[in-house]
Amino acid sequence: MQPDPEITCVECGGVAHLLMPPDPDDLEPQPGDVFAYRCADCLDRFDIVLPEELRFGVVRSVDDVRERVRRLLIGGATIIKCIGTGAVLTRGGVPGAPELSEFFRYLVETARAIGAEVIDRNNLTIIEESGYGWLPEYLAAHEVQVIASLPCYSAENVNQQRGHGVFEKSILALKKLNAAGYGTKLPLHLIYNPLGPTLPGPQAELEADYKDVLGRDFGIVQPAKGT
Q: Point out which residues pair with 7 in neighbouring strands.
A: 16
Residue 122 pLDDT more than 80? yes
Distance, CA of 141 to CA of 109 (rounded, Å) = 10
Contacts of 55 (CB under 8 A, 6+ apart): 1
86 backbone dihedrals φ, ψ, rounded to 5° = -160, 150
- In the DSSP assignment, the letter for residue 146 is E
What is the predicted pLDDT for the residue at 66?
Answer: 52
- For residues 54 and 32, the model is more confident at 32
What is the predicted pLDDT for the residue at 27?
Answer: 53
The residue type at 151: P
Q: In what order do the strands lie in the sheet with 145-149?
A: 86-89, 117-122, 145-149, 188-191
Q: Are 15 and 37 in contact (CB under 8 A)?
A: no
Residue 192 pLDDT more than 70? yes
Least confident of 139-143, 157-161, 169-173: 157-161
pLDDT class of 198 with cuts at 50, 70, 90: confident
Residue 50 pLDDT more than 90? no
- In the DSSP assignment, the letter for residue 182 is B
